[in-house]
Every structure is written in structure tokens, then in C-alpha cells.
Chain A
Amino acid sequence: MLNAERKRTILLLIPIVLVLVGYVLYPSIETLIESFKKNGAFSLQNYGDFFGSKAASNLEALWNSVYISLLSVFFSALIGIPLAYIFNRYDFPGRQFFSNIAIMPIVLPSLVGVMAFMFLYGEAGLVPNALKDLFHLSEVPFSIGGISGILLVHAYTMYPYFYMTTSSALNNIDPSLEEAAYNLGSSRLSVFWKVTFPLLTPGLVAASLLVFMVSMASFSAPYLLAGGFRVLSLQIYFSKTNGDLDMAATQSVILSVVSIAFLLFMRWFQNRKDYRMASKGIGAHRSEVSNPLLKWSMVSLGIIAMIVLLLPHVTLLVLSLVPEGAWTWQTYPQAFSFENFRLLFEDTNIWDPVRNSLIMAAIACGGVFVFGIITSYALVKRTFIGKNLLDILVMIPWALPATVVGMNLILAFNEPSAFSFGKVLVGTFWILPLAYFVRFIPLVVRSTNAVLEQMDDSIEEAAQNLGAKWFYTFRRVVLPYIMPGVLSGSLLAFVQAVGEFPTSVLLYTLGNRPISIEIMNQLRMFNLGQAAAYGMIQVGLIAIVLFVSYKFFGVKSENTL
């Protein structure tokens, strides 16, 4: 067994290691090397420039990124935690419905979400102008842009992280723990602070770090809303478009260091304390609200929250029905029709980006599907030296901001290399599917790991004991078992790849421009309706995938993050 088993492990590991080294490690190292080069010679000049007085804008961008991220964590928590507490601990009319609505922001891809917010609350947005007309003001009362805009979008798109982790933590708390505290004489408030809250902390810390990392990496919101405001992820893009690859590499390295430091901190924190419940079989634990005043104020809170949460979706839908030229200088759109959707399917010029996105996402998704299965199997079910290292390697694309992943690929494949079969990939069709593939490796591996870890080793052993060879066991027992996890992960990767913006904007060519790029083009041409129609396609795809995952694979949407 030793030999056959070990041989099999090695055979499994060879492709995994090749892919990870070739498309994750090697590009990262290329970036690192590039950051130490100036005019082709080794130097620390770039770092000197970054931190030096010469380019104060870089340091300012780093500082802005950090501080926007901290504020994003704060606001997301401020919305997510109370909402989760109210929806999970109190029973009032419509509770179930409201709690389903609460996670709706996740069906908006980031670029589309930002776009919807611009239409809603921007300078020419619907809400400020409606208020202006309503109160006969001479100017719009408010509009988002710069920091406030970024923060608003972040809070909206990221509070679900807090909402979901808090909800699941609350539902996992054994009610008898709190009952025990009451029984020992604690007051409601002290039960919350001494028992409930400490049990929530691991989830809250994880959510905070996640939100922090996501905001550090956030690209779409600053790209559309920042104005003159600098953040680091955007600076990378500017350096690259200005042709200053050395500086772009340096900025990438610094942003990566911050992100990876947070990832490592998160891993360490999660392993530090074990808050798993000792008891099993936890019942629902909700107190019914009997005070009518309180009850109806909760219901109205739910309704208001619902309106605010769904407004972007509605706006998007409405705008997608506005044909070209029907909303230019007017306050409100003048006409509605299905023109945009008709064009989408009839005008090949307009359909092309959708087709490109679908094809490229499908290629990436296929790759991630196969790679995810093999990698996850090796990580969960095989023992070998360097497993921890491999685990970290798999998670790197998750910790790295999308902009950095894009930069890494540019720097690695703008010259022929062994991993690109001696070809220059940048500027070809294949660079984008590759970028999507790398970006979504962690997603699929994680969702597959979750199922595989549930599978007891004895299941495989039973098959072996009954005479099945390894491959037969893998095909007939392991694969069908993990298929729900792999499929839901891959489908999610697919829809995210369709909407992917930061890597696309760095790597696209005219021939393979995806939806997100075309949305930007349409926005630039003030053809808002067509942009919204593209957005609706993405929202529809995401909604379908989430529904399918939930319905057929029993995967809850909160587990997909």
C-alpha cells in the first residue's frame, strides 16, 4: 500500500503543483522581482519613490485605502449586526421574508451595484433630484461621490458578511447557555454582554477581517466614484495605464503584503479558540414580540430596510427599460421599452461582449471545476509533506486583491515563459480566462473542501473493502458525494467571472472585451439603459445560480461567501 498510495498521491500532486506554481506563485514572484527593478537594474528606487516625499500620492493612497477599509468595517458592522440580531431573535409578522431580503445585495455584482448607486444617489441621480423637485430646491440636497460614495457602496455590499456570520453564530448558540445564565440570576443585558456577545466574537472578527480585505481590494467603487480621491488598488491601475510597470509592481507588492498579513492573522485567530458548541440539536430560539408598538416599529423597520435594499435592483431594472436617448438632460427617463434587450439579442456588436464573457467564464469555470476537485481531494484526503504550504498557495489568489492578480499575470506573461508554452499571453484571448481561473480557484476548493471534510474516511474504505480499485471508488463514490459542493462552487465562480471587472480592465483586448468593460463603454457614451441591461443579465444569472444551488444542492447562500 505504501508504495501504491504514495505513487497515487504524487501523481495527483504533480498537476496541482504545476498549475499553482505556474499561475499563482511564478506571477507573484515576477511582480516581486519587477518591483525591485528600475530601468532593468536591481534597485530599491521604487520603494524609495513609494515612501519618499517625491510621490506623496502613493502614501496618501495607502493611507486612504486603510482608513476607508476601517470605516467600511465599522459601518458594515453597524448595519449587519443589529439587523441579524433583530431578524434572528424576535418574531414578528414578515420576519422570514425580511430576512431573505437582507442578503439581496449579494446578487449585485460590484460594478453593477456601483452603477445602480450612481443612478440613484449621484449628482444626476433619481433620489436627490426627486427631493429637489419635491421641495422646490435650487440644488440637489445631497449627492454621493468621493469618500462618502465609496463608503455607502461598501456598507451596502459588505454588510451581508456581518449579517450572515452573526446570523449563523446566533443560530448556533445553544439556547440553554443563555437560559443557564438567566437561571443563575443574570439580567438580560448582562446575559448579552457576558454570554451571547463573547460567543459571537469569533464570527465577528472573521467578518471584520473579510470586510477589511475586500475593501482594501475594492476597485469598482473607487473607479467610478472616487473623483480625485486616491486609493491603492486604483493607483495600481493608473500606474499600469501610464506604462510605469515598475511602480505598479511595487504598489501591488505593498497592497499584497497588507492583504496577506490580514489573511494570516485571520487563520491564526480562527485556530486560536474553539467555540464549538458542546451540545447538539439546537432548537429555534426566538421571542415573540407582543408589545404592539415595538412589533409594528420592527415591521416598519423591516419595510424601510427592504425598500433601501431593493432600490438599486429596481433602479437597474427600470433603467434597463430606458431606450437610448430617452434620458439625457431630463430629470427622469422619458420612455420605456424593451429596446435594450431586443438590441442585446439582435445587434451582434452589443451581444458580443455577453458572448465573450460567457465563453471565457465557462472556460475558467471548467478549469476550476476539474482543478478544484483534484486539489481539494489531495488537501483533505491525502497526507504528504508540505500540505500546509500547498494550502496557503491555494488561498493566495483569494487574499490577493483582483488588481494585483491582474498585475501579476501581466508581469508574468508579457514575455514568453514555460508556463505559457513559450507564448506571450498578454494581449491574447487566453489571458482573461486564465485570470478568471486563478481568481476563483480558492472559491471552488473551499466549497469542495467543506463537503469532503464531511465525508468520513470509512466511506472510501468501505468501497475498497468491497473490492473497488482507487479510480473506481473515486468515480463512483467520492465524485457523486462531493458533486453538490463542487457544482455550486463552480457555478458561483462562473457568475462572478461573468461580472469580473478589476482583472478584466487590466487585461482585456478589443477582441475579447467582456460585459463589464462594455458597461463602462456604454456609461461613457451615456447610454445608461444599455449598461443597465447588461447589468440585469448578470443579476439574473447570479439569481438563477443561487436559486439552483439552494434548491438542488441544498447549499445555503450564506455558505457561498
Chain B
Amino acid sequence: MSTVNLSTITKRFGNVTAVKELDLKIKEGEFFTFLGPSGCGKTTTLRMIAGFYYPTEGKVKFNEKDMTTVPPEKRNTGMVFQNYALFPHMTVYENVAFGLKVRKTDKKETRSRVEDVLNKVRLGQYIDRQVSQLSGGQQQRVALARALVIEPDILLLDEPLSNLDARLRDEMRNEILRLQREYGITTIYVTHDQVEALTMSDRIAVFNFGECQQVGTPSEIYNKPVNDFVAAFIGETNLFSIKPDKEEEGTAVFQSADFDKSIYVDHTEENIASYAEGEELVMSIRPEAVRILKDSVDGNNVFKGKVSLVQFTGASVHTYIEMENGAQIRATDLNHGPSTYLKEGTSVSFQLPQNQIRVIPKAGE
């Protein structure tokens, strides 16, 4: 087991900078996720940890050992590839035993360890199958077993679930988590799927344009995004450009072109992210925080609009409200039965609770 320490890592391919000055410390036994859209540098970073790329600048350390230019075969990491990369000419047993054979483990021990790990991934009875005879989910588990059996210091997972269908994905998510907890291996997981990231990770690093935007627990990332990219990429949100206006005891007041009145936000660390003077600001409010009011009430942050669309999705109902100047806001509520759905065209009031708003700077390019 290892910690992973990346210090000011930069990777350039020709003129293209894939990863820029990345600093990360991944703790021992942690389930750490790299999350971001495609082309954001998350896979490049993973491959630098595996040793398939060497960083242009910066250092990769496992524990305190400098691994920056150690070849991949000497790193003792276990990687699961997006396409599984199973050896097609070998059986399940031979695939899983490959790493042990390279390590010159004796035959008897190899056999027992392979059987052991295959039982753990629930493929015990498939041990002598050809890998091409397995289903996608089973191949996935062989790949996982092959990576786990060598008892790697670090487990690397490169979008391992992206080729599976939705139901299997759920199942494998739990399976991976169970195995990770059981082995207690430091795990780095690359994905572009925010649900995977939020449900599985101890901590998440959000990437965009080769830069790490934010590192934090799933709850921190969701509730306290540091900029509009993170807020919009993880979960659904409503974003509006705003400008600071004034301070009143414990409350900050903002103006927005989209709203006809001032917006009041609690002046706490939870609600207002740190930003530099002169930065463009955005306010983010999650749809589930928007309160639709039955009767017109007075108070801060109460606005009027017309229902423009009602979307029923099963567990929840989305209501889109258009304000007079054309700006739209989305409110989400749990399904409470057909009688509670609003009609399109109805005039309504809604409130943006001032302790639920998050004021954040716009992410730079």
C-alpha cells in the first residue's frame, strides 16, 4: 500500500499541454477519483502514475520514493483498462496468473491465489474458460482479478465501467467498492460519470482543460464548488451572472440582470466561495433548493414567473419557470402525486433560500 504524491506535474505532447502544474496527494487506502469531461487530462495523469507516460516536468512519488522515471513494469501498480485489455489467447486462469508468473511465484501458490481472487470476484467456476466466452461484466471482473492478484501498491481504474450497460454498471460499482474495502488498496479511479464519482469516492479531483479545479469529498464538491465549472459539471444547477452590491450584517447583497430585485446571500464560507477582486461572479442554486410558493409571500429573494414546462421523471418532477425578462430557472421536487403538478402557464412565485445559494467565480479558460 502506498500514498501517491504528484508535485507540479506538467505533461506536454508537442505544443499541447495535457496536464498543467498538477499537485495532488493521495492518502493510503483512499478511494480517489479523477473526474472530468473527455480530454481534460485525467487519463493522462493516470498513465503517468502507471508509468506509460513520463511527466515533462514535476515528480511522481509513491510513499517517499521517487518513481518519476521508473518503467511501468517496476511500479507494482495494478491497472484495469477501459477495454479490459485481457489477453485474448489465454484462458481466465492464464490471464489472472500472468502477473504472478512474471513474479516467479511458485506453481502451487499461484494456483491458490488465482482461485482465491477469482472466488472473490465470483468467477470461480469460469477459471478454465477462454476470455472471449465471457460476457462484458465477467471480462471486467477478470480484469479486476488480474490487477488485484499481484497485490499492487496502487490500483488504477481507467473508466472501467464505461463499456457496461446501466444495470451491470450499478452492480459492478458495488463490487469494486467491496473489493477495494476488503483489500484496503489505495485506488485511483478515472471517470467522466459524476454519479460514479459521487457514490464511490472518498475524495474527488475535478479536472478541466488539464488543470485540477477542486479536490474534496463528494459532499464538498457538490455543496461547495469552487467555480461555475465544478458546480455545473457535478449535479444539476441554475447559474446566473451576478455583481456584488453591498454588505448588510451577515448578509451579502448582489445584483443580477436576470432578476428584477436584489439577491441576498448569507455571508458564510458555505455560501460564498473565495474569489479575487474584480473576478466575474456567478451564483449557483441547485434545482432541489428552489422553493415554489403557493401564495405570494414577502421576504428576501422572492421572485415571480410563469411555469413554462413541467417534466415528470418518475421519482421527481422538474418545473421550469420563466421570469418576465426571459431568464429561466429550474426547480426540482420529489413526486407527491399528480395533484401537486403545476400547469404550464400558471403564474407562480418562488424563493431562493439565502442559505442555499452559492456564489462562485467564473472558471478561467
Chain A residues within CB distance 8 Å of chain B: 1-2, 4, 456, 458-459, 461-469, 472, 476-477, 480-481
B59 nearest CB across to chain A (Å): 15
Given contacts A1-B71, A2-B54, A461-B72, contact A466 B89 (CB under 8 A): no
A466 to B95, CA, bound (A): 10
B159 nearest CB across to chain A (Å): 12
B326 at interface by CB-CB < 8 Å: no
A461 with B81: CB separation less than 8 A: yes
Main secondary structure of the interface of B (DSSP, over half): loop
Chain B residues within CB distance 8 Å of chain A: 50-52, 54, 69, 71-79, 81-83, 85-89, 98-99, 102-103, 146-147, 150, 156
Choose from A456, A461, A467 the contact partner of B99 (Cβ within 8 Å). Answer: A467
A480 with B71: CB separation less than 8 A: no
A211 to B146, CA, bound (A): 49
With a CB–CB cut-off of 8 A, which chain A residues contact B75? 465
B98 with A463: CB separation less than 8 A: yes
Choose from A2, A465, A476 the contact partner of B50 (Cβ within 8 Å). Answer: A465
With a CB–CB cut-off of 8 A, which chain B residues contact A468? 73, 98-99, 102
B87 with A459: CB separation less than 8 A: yes
**A-B interface pairs (CB < 8 A), number:** 71
A465 to B147, CA, bound (A): 9
B98 with A456: CB separation less than 8 A: no
With a CB–CB cut-off of 8 A, which chain B residues contact A465? 50, 72-73, 75, 77-79, 147, 156
B348 nearest CB across to chain A (Å): 46
B85 with A4: CB separation less than 8 A: no
B73 with A469: CB separation less than 8 A: yes
Given contacts A1-B54, A1-B69, contact A466 B98 (CB under 8 A): yes
A461 with B52: CB separation less than 8 A: yes
A434 to B217, CA, bound (A): 67
Choose from B71, B78, B81, B102 the contact partner of A472 (Cβ within 8 Å). Answer: B102
With a CB–CB cut-off of 8 A, which chain A residues contact B85? 456, 458-459, 461-462
Which 3 pairs show the lowest CB-CB distances between chains A and B?
A466-B99, A462-B85, A458-B85
17 additional A-B residue pairs with CB within 8 Å, beyond A2-B54, A464-B52, A465-B77: A1-B51, A459-B85, A459-B87, A461-B50, A461-B72, A461-B85, A462-B79, A462-B81, A463-B98, A464-B72, A465-B75, A466-B98, A466-B102, A467-B73, A467-B99, A468-B73, A468-B98
Choose from A2, A462, A469, A481 the contact partner of B89 (Cβ within 8 Å). Answer: A481
Choose from B69, B78, B89 the contact partner of A480 (Cβ within 8 Å). Answer: B89
Choose from A458, A472, A476, A480 the contact partner of B83 (Cβ within 8 Å). Answer: A458
A468 to B100, CA, bound (A): 10
With a CB–CB cut-off of 8 A, which chain A residues contact B99? 466-468
B88 with A467: CB separation less than 8 A: no
The residue on B at minimum CB distance from A476 is B98
A272 nearest CB across to chain B (Å): 26
Q: Show 11 residue pairs from A and B whose CB-CB distance is below 8 angstroms, ordered by the A residue.
A: A1-B54, A1-B69, A459-B85, A459-B88, A462-B85, A462-B146, A464-B51, A466-B73, A467-B73, A477-B87, A481-B87
A29 nearest CB across to chain B (Å): 35
A291 to B102, CA, bound (A): 65
B73 with A464: CB separation less than 8 A: yes
With a CB–CB cut-off of 8 A, which chain A residues contact B150? 466-467
Most buried by A among B77, B78, B85, B156: B85
With a CB–CB cut-off of 8 A, which chain B residues contact A461? 50, 52, 72, 79, 81, 85
A463 to B78, CA, bound (A): 10
